[in-house]
Structures are given as structure tokens and as C-alpha cells.
């Protein structure tokens, strides 16, 4: 009998331990089940967002289709970063549906766009077609316009190109610039200002026309004036306007990647609407090659502004090699003219611009503005 007491105790302890263990096991099993259920819910929710399978049933397609576009439009965007940033609450500017969204407006675009790649390989040997460029840029809308879908750009930028008989160059320009501008998150439109006829070319007058015609099309804040043959070699050279008039093309291959002289303002430059009006726009009276860029530089400094420039390692450009065009011979009056900017800028500029608008055509990759701009006045007789 005395031996049975510890035996009973032992059995009871075992029984109690067994029950406790059983309870623990049940709790763990239950936890696993709950965890599994949560995982399944999350999995299906995410799956539906990516492939939009539920949207057509529940009418919530505005925000859902947006996720899909958002991920595609971001070169470096991973699914993890998409969840981590909370960007999935943003809305696209695309008119996906008639349902009016109640979500927050787009955030401002970042000062330093995250998708930039830096130095670019630029070459002009491969064949280029507009069809190819169009395929490469499905997000560019009629007239060569683009608005970042995931953020609100501070400025609306018109890019203006003086043009005549340079279709070959234009294809390369569009091929390289559209993706660069998209990565830079610029809200932009491209305007090709095409001088009709075969009279002497007038680059600066075409640029004035570009400013005027672009403003008829949309409320632009910033105007970037670019030669058709100049391609930036670094996408950190951001195509928007700055506190001071901007000179972008500071280190060109044709000048050994250096600024040729301190007052050089040729190639690619950018002015805000106010900066442009402050200098009365550009001169209309420089016919033929040369001088007009120096006149613009004079206008800027004479009006108390300074030229701003990017770092020399970033402001690098390639120019497509070319011969001097017909009817754009060097202007022999240019040296005299740039001595007189202080006087001429008041009467010659955006306030005296005259031209005949012949046609505006919105192509998929750019807007073409064809104009007649007249010809240089007859030279005064010598003596």
C-alpha cells in the first residue's frame, strides 16, 4: 500500500503534463491555421491587384489598374519597394475610368528623379525610323507630349527645335530624347518649328515663333531651345528651367568637351517665361549662321541675369556630324550686330515678331509648326 501512493502521484503528474502538452499543440495548430488563412487572403488580394481579375466585378478598377501601370512605368520599381513606399495609394493621371477618384492628389515629382542612369552611350550608326521610335515610346501622346503618371511636375516644359530639311537628325533626336525626358519626369511637349521655302535660315526667329505657338497650345512655364542635332550624353542634365537662364550644352564633342568661350550660349538653352519676357525674347534680325546665340547671351547679362550651367561632366553632348546647310551661310553682319544688343534688344524681339503660320500638325512624336518668316532686308548700298 505505501508503494502505491508515489505511483498514483506519478501517474497524475503524467496525465496533467500530457494535457498541458496537448493544449499547447492545439494552440500551435490553431495559430498555424490562422497564419495560413492570413497568407491566403494577402496572396489573393495582391494577385487581384496585379492582374485586375476582380475589378470588373466590384467596380474598384480605378485604383487597381493604376497599380499595374505604376509598376511598369518605374524602371527600378520592385514589388517590395512598391509595398514599402506606400506608393500604391497614388493615382494615375490616365483616364482609366469614369469613376471619380476620391484619393489624394499626386505628390510633387522628386528633385532628383530616381530612375536616372547617368552617362549614356550615344551613337548614330544604327538605322533609325519613326516607326521604331514610336514603338519604343508608347506613353508619348499626340503632338509629342508626356506627363509623368505618378507625380506632379513643378513646371510644364515646351521643347522648341528650329528646323529645315533635317529629318534624319530629328529621328535620332526623338529616339534619344523621349526616354531621357521620361526618366527625368518632365511634363513636356515637343515643337518642331519648320521654316518653309529656301530663303536664308533664321534660327532665333524660329525660336521666338516656337515660344509663341507653344503658348497657344498649352500653359507652358519653361522653354527649352535645342538644335536638332544635339543629344545629351548624361540624363542627369535635367531639362527644366532654373533660377537663372540655363545653358545646357556646355561640353560638346565638337569643342573637345569644353566650353569654347565664357559667353557661349549656343546649342541647347532654357528660359522660364519670365526670363524670356525680361529679355524681350530673341532677336529676329540675325539671318544666316552665327551671332544670334551671342546676342541672346548679351540680352541676359544686360538685363541683370546670369547664365546657369550644369557640371562640365554632366553637360556633355554629341552633335550629329553635318556639313553647313544651303541657305545658312555665315552672317557677315554678326560681329557688328552683337556690339549693339543693348540698343536693338528693345525694339527687336518678341515684341516685333512677325510671321505667317501655315500649318500646325500633331504627329505622334512631335508637333510640327510650319511657318513663312520672310527674308533678310536688302543690304544697304556701300559708301
Residues that bind Mn ion (CB under 5 A): 229
Rounded-to-integer distance, Cα 189 and Cα 158, Å: 5
Q: Is 219 a catalytic residue?
A: no
257: contact with ligand UD2 by CB under 6 A: no
Considering the candidates 213, 229, 294, 348, report the single residue annotated as catalytic: 229
Contact of residue 187 among Mn ion, ligand UD2, none (CB under 5-8 Å per partner type): none
Contact of residue 90 among ligand UD2, Mn ion, none (CB under 5-8 Å per partner type): none
Q: Is 52 a catalytic residue?
A: no
Which of the 8 DSSP states describes residue 115? T
228: contact with ligand UD2 by CB under 6 A: yes
Buried b (16+ CB within 10 A) or exposed e, 283-301: bbbbbbbbbbbbbbbbbbe
* Closest chain position to Mn ion (CB): 229
β-pair partners for 283: none
Nearer to ligand UD2, 82 or 363 (CB): 363
295: contact with ligand UD2 by CB under 6 A: no
Q: Is 293 a catalytic residue?
A: yes
Question: Exposed, middle or buried: residue 87 (CB in 10 Å: 0-12, 13-18, 19+)?
Answer: middle
Q: Is 323 a catalytic residue?
A: no
Number of residues binding to ligand UD2, judged by CB under 6 A: 23
Contact of residue 292 among ligand UD2, Mn ion, none (CB under 5-8 Å per partner type): ligand UD2
Nearer to ligand UD2, 18 or 330 (CB): 330
Convert residues 321-360 into a mask of x (bound to ligand UD2 by CB under 6 A) and - (unbound). Answer: ---xx--x--------------------------------
252: contact with ligand UD2 by CB under 6 A: yes
Nearer to ligand UD2, 148 or 315 (CB): 315
Output the CA–CA distances (angstroms, integers) from residue 228 to 38, 251, 282, 338, in the order listed: 57, 17, 18, 24
State the nearest-atom distance from the C-beta of 343 to ligand UD2, in Å.
Answer: 22
Rounded-to-integer distance, Cα 70 and Cα 258, Å: 39
- In 3D space, the residue among 327, 180, 321 whose CA is nearest the CA of residue 240 turns out to be 180
66: contact with ligand UD2 by CB under 6 A: no
210: contact with ligand UD2 by CB under 6 A: no
Nearer to ligand UD2, 227 or 235 (CB): 227
Contact of residue 165 among ligand UD2, Mn ion, none (CB under 5-8 Å per partner type): ligand UD2
| Cβ-based neighbour number of residue 260 at 10 Å | 13
Rounded-to-integer distance, Cα 160 and Cα 243, Å: 20
258: contact with ligand UD2 by CB under 6 A: no
Q: Is 227 a catalytic residue?
A: yes
Contact of residue 296 among Mn ion, ligand UD2, none (CB under 5-8 Å per partner type): none
Buried b (16+ CB within 10 A) or exposed e, 117-136: eeebebebeeebebeebeee
- Identify the residue among 62, 188, 191, 201 touching ligand UD2 (CB under 6 A): 201
Rounded-to-integer distance, Cα 84 and Cα 78, Å: 10
Q: What would the grid cell of residue 105 be?
A: 492628389
Q: Is 187 a catalytic residue?
A: no
**Could you tell me where the DSSP H helices lie in 238-305?**
273-278, 292-302
Strand segments, DSSP code E, in the chain are: 145-146, 156-163, 187-195, 222-226, 230-232, 246-247, 251-252, 268-272, 316-319, 356-362, 367-372
CA 331, 334, 337, 338 torsion: positive or negative?
A: positive
Nearer to ligand UD2, 194 or 344 (CB): 194
- Identify the residue among 213, 227, 234, 285 touching ligand UD2 (CB under 6 A): 227
DSSP string, 360-374: EEE-SS-EEEEEE--
CB 146 within 8 A of CB 174: no
- Identify the residue among 229, 234, 295, 348 touching ligand UD2 (CB under 6 A): 229
Residues 144-183 that bind ligand UD2 (CB under 6 A): 161-166
- Identify the residue among 290, 310, 315, 349 touching ligand UD2 (CB under 6 A): 290
User: Within the chain, how many helices (H) and strands (E) appear?
Assistant: 11, 11
Rounded-to-integer distance, Cα 21 and Cα 16, Å: 9
Q: Name the residues that contact ligand UD2, by CB under 6 A.
A: 161-166, 201, 203, 227-230, 252, 266-267, 289-290, 292-293, 319, 324-325, 328
What residues are annotated to the active site? 227, 229, 289, 292-293, 319, 322, 324
Amino acid at each position: 500500500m505505501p508503494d502505491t501512493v508515489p505511483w498514483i502521484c506519478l501517474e497524475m503528474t503524467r496525465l496533467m503534463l500530457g494535457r498541458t502538452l496537448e493544449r499547447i499543440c492545439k494552440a500551435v495548430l490553431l495559430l498555424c491555421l490562422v497564419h495560413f488563412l492570413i497568407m491566403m487572403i494577402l496572396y489573393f488580394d495582391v494577385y487581384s491587384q496585379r492582374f485586375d481579375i476582380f475589378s470588373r466585378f466590384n467596380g474598384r478598377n480605378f485604383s487597381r489598374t493604376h497599380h499595374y501601370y505604376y509598376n511598369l512605368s518605374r524602371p527600378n520599381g520592385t514589388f517590395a519597394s512598391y509595398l514599402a513606399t506606400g506608393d500604391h495609394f497614388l493615382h494615375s493621371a490616365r483616364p482609366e475610368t469614369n469613376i471619380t477618384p476620391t484619393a489624394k492628389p499626386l505628390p510633387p515629382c522628386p528633385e532628383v528623379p530616381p530612375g536616372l542612369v547617368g552617362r549614356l552611350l550615344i551613337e548614330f550608326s544604327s538605322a533609325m525610323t519613326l516607326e521604331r521610335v514610336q514603338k519604343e515610346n508608347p506613353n508619348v501622346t499626340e503632338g509629342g507630349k508626356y506627363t509623368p503618371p505618378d507625380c506632379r511636375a513643378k513646371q510644364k516644359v515646351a521643347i522648341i527645335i528650329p528646323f529645315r530639311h533635317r529629318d534624319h537628325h530629328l529621328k535620332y533626336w526623338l529616339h534619344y530624347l523621349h526616354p531621357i525626358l521620361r526618366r527625368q519626369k518632365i511634363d513636356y511637349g515637343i515643337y518642331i518649328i519648320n521654316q518653309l521655302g529656301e530663303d536664308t535660315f533664321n534660327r532665333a526667329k524660329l525660336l521666338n515663333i516656337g515660344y509663341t505657338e507653344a503658348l497657344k497650345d498649352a500653359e507652358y512655364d519653361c522653354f527649352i531651345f535645342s538644335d536638332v542635332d544635339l543629344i545629351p550624353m548624361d540624363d542627369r542634365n535635367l531639362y527644366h528651367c532654373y533660377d537663372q537662364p540655363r545653358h545646357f550644352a556646355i561640353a560638346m564633342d565638337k569643342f573637345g568637351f569644353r566650353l569654347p568661350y565664357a559667353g557661349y550660349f549656343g546649342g541647347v538653352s532654357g528660359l522660364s517665361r519670365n526670363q524670356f519676357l525680361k529679355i524681350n525674347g530673341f532677336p529676329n534680325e540675325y539671318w544666316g549662321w552665327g551671332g544670334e546665340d551671342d546676342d541672346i547671351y548679351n540680352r541676359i547679362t544686360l538685363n541683370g541675369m546670369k547664365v546657369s550651367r550644369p557640371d562640365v561632366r554632366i553637360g556633355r553632348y554629341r552633335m550629329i556630324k553635318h556639313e553647313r546647310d544651303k541657305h545658312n551661310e555665315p552672317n557677315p553682319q554678326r560681329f557688328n550686330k552683337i556690339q549693339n544688343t543693348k540698343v536693338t534688344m528693345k525694339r527687336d524681339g518678341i515684341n516685333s515678331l512677325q510671321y505667317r503660320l501655315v500649318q500646325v500638325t500633331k504627329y505622334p512624336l512631335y508637333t510640327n509648326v510650319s511657318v513663312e518668316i520672310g527674308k533678310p532686308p536688302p543690304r544697304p548700298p556701300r559708301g
